[in-house]
Structure 1
Amino acid sequence: MPKTLIIDDDPEFESHIREYFGGESGNAEHAFVFANDSAHALSLMAELDDIDIAVVSIDSKDIGGLSIFQKMKGKRLRVPRIAVTSSRDLPSIRTAMNQGAVDFLTKPVSMDDLLATLGKVFADCEIRRKAWRTEAQLSAIRREMDLAGSIQKRILPDQFPNSQDLEVFAQTTPAQEMGGDFYDFFDLDDGTIAIVVADVSGKGVPAAFYMAVVRTLFRATAPALKGPAACLSEVNRLLIGHNIPGMFVTAFYGILNPETWEFSFANGGHLPPYLVRGNGEIVAVEDGGGVVLGFEHGVPYQQDSLSIEKGDALFIYTDGLTEAFDLERNPFSEERLMDCLLENRSLSAHALTNNVFAFVSGHTDGAPQSDDITSFVIKRF
């Protein structure tokens, strides 16, 4: 029920409204409060918080027309205003409209005309208020998403192991504020380094939550298990035990021995990494196969190993990189990636990653990003 403030010093107008609507409080559909001078009007506007519409006389010198709202102190009354006048002076009506009136009434005002005007203005007001509420809710959601995306980025390591003969670097770019790709590395008790690159199905918030679960499971299980295959099997078992329908993850998990440069690994449905040799040879690491995690019980994972020689770089990535589309829906492709890796094979892990991402950005040329993109590089000097 809209509540309307009538600011008018015409007793006949007030009496007519009271008689028609049944007194001060109005009827079941409308409520009214009345002020017959500016002081009373300012007092009511300062006191009441439930006014929906104001009907203001623009003829009375004691009221001052719509300029009365400029006299309010310490409070702003955001309500639609209807001008009411005893004349048909178009310049005065135009002035009122320029001062913010959304409609006008001329006396004698028929109650049917008043009802129709109030109904239309109140409906418009409700639409605006709903839009304001929606905008406020969207802004709050946006702030929360930005914060969640910032927290997710902070979860991923940003300090990488670097030494005279080893450099590690990784980068991820989510398609939305939050993503399902992730990389991780951590030291194991025997001095080796555990490395994970994974791609959760889907994008956005669900994938980000699932990503956090998968990352936690890797960190919890890896120190107690011997070898990447055993770790993938255990993470897979735990994920299936969580019973999260429709979610799965591809993962490449490896363990680097920085003393011997042996890299043992297992692949849970992930794209094969590329081993870029210092002599210009490039090899897809297709061993260590297995199914995606969180999908099927009891399937064994294979474990293999390779040796990283001086000048070699191991490039681990997610499919969002090779499937990055340009404006004509042409993917970046594995061929372009291989060319880029060979061209930049002598660079550091950091520079190699930056150049690959720059090549992908140049290829997409402003096309919307359709999937998360992640790469992880191990470079031996």
Structure 2
Amino acid sequence: MLQDLLRTIPWFTYLDAAQISSMAASMAQRHLAAGDILFHHGEESYDCFIIVEGSVEVLIYVNGAEHRLEVYNAGDIVGEMALIDRSPRSASVRAITDSHLVVITEVEFKTLIGSNPEVAMRVLRNSTTRVRNTNQRMIGDLERKNNELLRAYQQLKAAQGDLIRLSRIEQELAVARQIQESFLPRQLPQLRGWEIGAYSRGAQAVGGDFYDCIELSDGRIGLVVADACGKGVTAALFVALSRSLLRAASQAPWIFQSGEILDAESILTGALWLVNDYICREHGDNNMFVTLFYAVLDPKNGDLAYVNAGHNPPLLLDAQCENLYELPEATLPIGIMANQNFPPQRTRIEPGYRLVLFSDGITEAMNPDGQPFGDERFHEVLYEDGHLSAKNLVSIVIAQVDSYAAGAPQADDMTLMIIAREA
């Protein structure tokens, strides 16, 4: 009987007999033959699965080539991230051997994690460990591919040979870029009376900047622009880690506490404290840190609660495109000091106003003479073209920066997000 089977699975240890009986009465099961697909990349389905018997593999496809990211075995939970953030599946899952799984719906998932705080913590630890392991494998692969690429270029300078090998390495770096790009939002939120435009580009194959739009309770949106110190592979690791931790910590109270709606200040201080504590405790020896601007926007009235942790001060452009106001930084960056407090500040985006979030790659973009684009040029573009839509304004700013740089190699990543409220 399914009830007896559930009692043998560690995830159900904390449920009483009545809860197990109730879940068993409604719970579906899946039986996969070796080679069967559990779900496809991009599929919009929000169940997760616990493997009773067998093993499955997590796959992505790049340019028609198959890449294995992870293997899960009996006792593992699969697909819970889509259930938590209700995003399309980020990869495909296929059975390696004949497999037996139980299907966990959202209602059953809440019952499961609500049975004991330890189960909720186990879900968080399980997801965080997977993200960390995947990131570490990805960064290890990137370091190896970067070394191979360097050796290949040295050989090309000496002999102009080995083009096939170089092409293969570049293809694998393209996979790395695609994996990192998958951490950016697939679609920006569409809010009535608002428009959001965003752009991010690394100076190297992989970058240290990121932006995010996090859907929160009560229709609010979390807005993030961040810059990890350093560039390339090392910064990419901290981008992946910081973004995943911040998103999970911001949404965890809503998911795990029966839909309780927290005020914006609680979301900001709780999420940033968790991310900072983890990075300081687990990665303090690496001397890495992240500058970050994180805001919670209420689109109903334009209220904006925010924390600026050592990042470039965002700009607020008025409706007449005549005045720019800076939102000052207030705390140290993430990862500098353990037990740091992150006091939120408040402002309001009035009708017709635009909030401009950016990384220093915008203002510090260099032309061939080594001169930076600078704040003054940046402000002039905003004054002149601030009446445009958010997406068009983003495009204009990037085009102006690229025109000024005139093809000169850049040392810094470039990220820009503009949030516009209708007049």
TM-score by length of 2: 0.57
Query: What's the offset of the Cα at 1:216?
Result: 0.5
Going from structure 1 to structure 2, the CA distance change for 1:201 and 1:137 (only over 3 Å counts) comes to farther
Alpha-carbon offset, residue 131 of structure 1: 7.2
Counting matched residue pairs gives 253
User: Which structure: larger Rg?
Assistant: 1
Query: Which residue of structure 2 aligns with residue 285 of structure 1?
Result: 327
RMSD: 2.1
Equivalence for 1:9: none
1:161 paired with 2:201, answer no
SS across alignment from 2:170:
helix
Specify the alignment match of 1:113 in structure 2.
Answer: none
Contact 2:189 2:213 in 1 (8 A): no
- Which residue is 2:226 aligned to? 198
Residue 211 of structure 1 deviates from its aligned partner by 0.5
- For the residue of structure 2 that corresponds to 1:190, the secondary structure is helix
Question: What amino acid is aligned across from residue 233 of structure 1 in structure 2?
Answer: W
Partner of 1:217: 245
Equivalent residue number for residue 45 of structure 1: none
Amino acid at match of 1:194: G
Query: Is 1:146 the counterpart of 2:187 in the alignment?
Result: no
Unaligned ranges ≥5, structure 2:
1-154, 254-261
- 1:119 is matched with none
The amino acid that maps onto 2:195 is E
The one-character-per-residue Cα deviations of 1:189-244 (angstroms, maximum 9, x if unpaired) are: 22211111110111112211210100110011113372323322221111112225
Unpaired stretches in structure 1, ≥5 consecutive residues: 1-126
In structure 2, the partner of 1:251 is: 292
| Residues 281, 338 of structure 2: 8 Å contact kept | no
Q: Secondary structure at the match of 1:328?
A: coil
Letter of the 1:197 counterpart? V
| Deviation by residue 1:318-359 (Cα, 9 ceiling, x = unmatched) | 001100000111101111111111111111110110000011
1:267-292: CA deviation from partner (whole Å, max 9, x where unpaired): 111010000011221111115x1111
2:214 to 186, 202, 211: 186
User: Structure 1 residues 222, 367: CA separation in 2 closer, same or farther (over 3 Å shift)?
Assistant: same
Measure, in 2, the Cα distance between the counterparts of 1:340 and 1:229.
34
CA, structure 1 residues 207+191, in 2 after alignment: closer, same or farther (shift >3 Å)? same
Could you tell me which amino acid in structure 2 is paired with residue 141 of structure 1?
I
What SS is found at the alignment partner of 1:155?
coil
Q: CA deviation at 1:305?
A: 1.0
Contact (CA 8 Å) 2:214, 2:223: kept in 1 or not?
yes
Matched, 1:238 2:278: yes
Residues 249, 270 of structure 2: 8 Å contact kept: no
Indicate how the Cα distance of structure 1 residues 205 and 137 shifts in structure 2: closer, same or farther if over 3 A, else same: farther
3-state SS of 2:219 partner: coil
Alignment correspondent of 1:46: none
Confirm whether residue 207 of structure 1 aligns to residue 231 of structure 2. no
Instruction: Report the counterpart of residue 111 of structure 1 in structure 2.
Output: none
Paired with 1:291 and 1:274, the residues of 2 have a C-alpha distance of 19
How far apart in 1 are the matches of 2:231 and 2:163?
Answer: 24
Are the aligned partners of 2:191 and 2:299 in contact in 1 as well (CA < 8 Å)? no
Output the CA distance in 2 between the equivalents of 1:229 and 1:168: 24
CA distance in 2, matches of 1:132, 1:331: 35
Q: Distance in 1 between matches of 2:230 and 2:171?
A: 22
1:16-165 matches, within 5 Å, as 138-165=166-193
Which letter does structure 2 place at the counterpart of 1:172?
S
Partner of 1:361: 402
Report the residue type matching 1:281 in the other structure: N
Question: What does residue 308 of structure 1 align with?
Answer: 349
Do the aligned residues in 2 keep the contact of 1:268 with 1:291 (CA within 8 Å)? yes
Cα 1:141–1:241 change in 2 (3 A) is farther
TM-score (norm 1): 0.63
1:261 to 278, 293, 302: 302
8 Å Cα contact 1:185/1:196 also seen in 2: yes
Q: Which amino acid aligns with 1:284?
A: E
Contact map agreement 1:232 1:268 (CA 8 A) in 2: no
Q: For 2:161 and 2:365, how far apart are their aligned partners in 1?
A: 37
Give the letter for the 2:327 counterpart.
V
Amino acid at match of 2:222: A
- Do 1:311 and 1:380's aligned partners in 2 also have CA atoms closer than 8 Å? yes
